[in-house]
């Protein structure tokens, strides 16, 4: 089945003309979501924290419809059944399995994992619960609330002795230099699509190589999304601005990683053709 033609990133950044019927369709859709949609718990969280935030992604992972009154639960179920949400849940499972596979390869050797933009990091907790590997994890994020909720999960699953937490910016060089010891595996999933500047990501791979020099990096890339214009025209990001995500060809991002010294090892696409999950090796 041919893919739906979608606007380019540059086109999504520009507002639609006032006389565009598409503009008014999205304006009405936005009004509906703000007026009625927030009866849905997921949509309420998205507008409060941003539809690109760790808070909303973790809500999507949990996949338990909730809302005020019957209409709220119906809307929430519809929200959680969107193809983008289904892809989020699919890559969570892929990421968990890749982490477990990496730990098996380590064959009992002590392993240090750093997640640079972790949110609540459900996928890491799932991996830890399904393995007996000798592993320590550092979860870092710019969102203190997400880290607190993540710590609560660790306590609930009796994993607090394996995990530590820090506020930190994945793209800040001085912040990266504070990580000690150097990690075996760096995880940064859900990060690149929110970064608009290609050069920033390209440079980031070189900084990871020069500062942390990990054995492997696990990341994902959003390569296609039939809902990308609706998301950009209707939803808000964590800064209260339009939620414009930058889709990129997977080959381009892998090229940046390889130029920094990381070799492509494994790529798995989600069943909906939206995300590629990638493991690269040093």
**Residue-level pLDDT, tens digit, the chain, 282 residues:** 567 789 999 999 999 999 999 999 999 999 999 988 889 999 999 999 899 887 888 889 889 999 999 999 999 999 999 999 999 999 999 999 999 999 999 998 999 999 999 888 889 999 999 998 899 999 999 888 888 888 998 999 999 999 999 999 999 999 999 999 999 999 999 889 889 999 999 999 999 999 999 999 999 999 999 999 999 999 999 889 999 999 999 999 999 999 999 987 899 999 999 999 999 998
Give me the pLDDT at residue 47, please.
93
CB 181 within 8 A of CB 110: no
Give the count of beta carbons closer than 10 Å to the beta carbon of residue 35: 9
Helix (H, G, I), strand (E, B) or coil at 227: coil
Q: What is residue 259's DSSP assignment? A: H
Q: Which H or E run includes 269?
A: strand 263-269
Domain map of the chain by residue range? 89-227+242-281
CB 237 within 8 A of CB 224: no
pTM across the whole model? 0.91
CA distance 51 to 253: 23
**Token code pair at residue 24:** 């008014």
**Token code pair at residue 14:** 């520009």
CB 61 within 8 A of CB 91: no
The pairing of beta strand 275-281 with beta strand 111-115: unpaired
Specify which residues 281 forms β-bridges with: 216, 263
* Distance separating the N- and C-terminal Cα atoms of the chain: 37
Specify which residues 269 forms β-bridges with: 276
CB 94 within 8 A of CB 269: no
Residue with tokens 């809500």: 59
CA-CA-CA-CA torsion sign (280, 246, 65, 116): positive
Candidate CATH numbers 3.60.70.12, 3.30.1180.20, 3.40.50.150, 3.30.70.260; the one for domain 89-227+242-281: 3.40.50.150
Give me the pLDDT at residue 5, please.
87
């Amino acid at each position: 089945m041919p893919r739906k033609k979608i606007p380019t990133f540059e086109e999504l950044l520009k507002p639609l003309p006032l006389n565009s019927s598409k503009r008014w369709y999205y304006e009405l859709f936005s009004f509906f979501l703000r007026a009625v949609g927030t009866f849905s718990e997921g949509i309420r969280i998205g507008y409060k924290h941003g539809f690109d935030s760790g808070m909303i992604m973790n809500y999507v992972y949990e996949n338990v419809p909730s809302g005020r009154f019957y209409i709220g639960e119906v809307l929430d179920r519809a929200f959680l059944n969107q193809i983008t949400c289904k892809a989020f849940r699919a890559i969570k499972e892929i990421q968990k399995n890749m982490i477990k596979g990496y730990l098996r390869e380590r064959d009992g050797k002590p392993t240090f994992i750093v997640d640079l933009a972790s949110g609540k990091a459900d996928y890491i907790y799932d991996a830890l619960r399904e393995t007996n590997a000798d592993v320590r994890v550092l979860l870092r994020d710019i969102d203190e609330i997400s880290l607190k909720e993540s710590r609560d999960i660790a306590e609930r699953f009796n994993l607090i002795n394996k995990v530590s937490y820090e506020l930190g910016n994945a793209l800040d060089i001085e912040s990266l230099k504070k990580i000690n010891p150097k990690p075996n595996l760096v995880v940064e999933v859900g990060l690149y699509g929110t970064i608009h500047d290609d050069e920033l990501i390209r440079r980031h791979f070189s900084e990871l190589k020069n500062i942390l020099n990990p054995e492997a990096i696990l990341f994902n890339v959003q390569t296609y999304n039939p809902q990308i214009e609706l998301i950009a025209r209707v939803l808000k990001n964590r800064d209260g601005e339009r939620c414009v995500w930058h889709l990129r060809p997977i080959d381009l991002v892998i090229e940046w990683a390889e130029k920094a010294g990381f070799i492509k090892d494994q790529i798995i696409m989600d069943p909906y053709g939206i995300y590629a999950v990638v493991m690269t090796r040093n």
